[in-house]
Structure 1
């Protein structure tokens, strides 16, 4: 799914994979080093950046929004447990993601 979305901007699946592979490798290496998924979270949900998440929901194709919201809700719980966001940010993210998904 990530490569398909990235290909919309890179122009090809090959370029999308070239752009995404370092991100995937870095995430896997960080996870292997810590063995704690919450500790390696990055991105707007891990930062509590509700505005960026809202922009993503507007920009994404309708077919991927349920997956984005489902994964986003799970990430929100991890970020809250990890302490990278507070309860207020978690509530805002849950309301936003649940509004699109639920």
Structure 2
């Protein structure tokens, strides 16, 4: 499965936040977010193009699921864990959500 322009935009905008708030390199952030987006797309059996034309609640649900996957992966990796993970994940959600809704 290739990466769409929409995915690339979401990844770039939100990866910057993870790099700044979590002990993570830019490459690690991009790989993690890409993996989580693709995981959720496969789980829902959909594409970014289909999500782009879906309802706002559906897109919000998708973003929340991706953020949950990212948070779980960060929790599982002791090198990435931080005392302020909750706040970092909240900021990550806002960045991902805002980048999707900016049109």
Same fold, TM-score > 0.5, yes or no: no
Determine which structure has more spread, i.e. the larger CA radius of gyration: 1
TM range (shorter): 0.3 to 0.5
Under a length normalisation based on structure 2, what TM-score does the superposition of the two structures give?
Answer: 0.34
Under a length normalisation based on structure 1, what TM-score does the superposition of the two structures give?
Answer: 0.34
Structure number with the bigger relative contact order (C-alpha 8 A, sep ≥ 6) is 2
More helix as a share of residues: 1
